[in-house]
Structure 1
């Protein structure tokens, strides 16, 4: 499936792509792969950790998911264990989230559970 980063990969708009201003809403998506693939206890711990991020004031919405039981197709990736989709009012709010103590605690307590994380930050197309 394309790029396989070792820890975190962020796809963001850059020069030549869509301009990201600090006042546009942002959607932040992350996919997590467990070190112990298929371990229900580790998945439950990670889900609880992700849900704790909703206490950060800048997080306007949070959806925590697991892979759907859809048909296998070349373009569908069912290999991840947990996803998060959150929204922010702005890129600035997402920046604050990155250094917020609750987010830092989540990383400290839960990073031992995952082997890989992929992040995609999205703003609306003009």
Structure 2
């Protein structure tokens, strides 16, 4: 199960706030029960109608199963701390969760 999150940060954040956001984001990808975690910024790919470069950060977390994802959402201290610490830093968040087809 993949949990993909895209963040649009407030434009008036100071460097300390941006560093706090990035530091807390990095801690999320280090959760021990993840298969894999990835943090990114928009790639410098060609502008195309189907490509969205407007976000500031992305987070992809690969969970072994739905139970691990649900635990992350409801009970994971790292996730809850991230939200409480950083929710004032973003204007918009979009989540795309996906499960394997086969």
Q: With structure 2 as the length reference, what TM-score do the two structures score?
A: 0.87
Matched, 1:57 2:25: no
Matched, 1:107 2:83: yes
- How far is the alpha carbon of 1:71 from its aligned partner? 1.6
The answer to whether the Cα contact below 8 Å between 1:30 and 1:85 also exists between their aligned partners in 2 is: yes
TM-align CA RMSD: 1.7
**How many residues are aligned here?**
100
Q: Which runs of 5+ in 1 are unaligned?
A: 1-25
Higher strand residue share:
2
- How far is the alpha carbon of 1:58 from its aligned partner? 2.7
Deviation digits for residues 12-47 of structure 1, max 9, x if unmatched?
Answer: xxxxxxxxxxxxxx011000000127x572443322
Higher helix residue share:
2
Q: Which runs of 5+ in 2 are unaligned?
A: none
- How far is the alpha carbon of 1:101 from its aligned partner? 1.3
Deviation digits for residues 68-118 of structure 1, max 9, x if unmatched?
Answer: 111211111010000001111100100001121111000000111111111
Q: 1:122 aligns with which of 74, 95, 98?
A: 98
- For 1:1-126, what aligned pairs fall within 5 Å after superposition? 26-36=1-11, 41=15, 42-99=17-74, 100-126=76-102
The corresponding residue for 1:19 is none
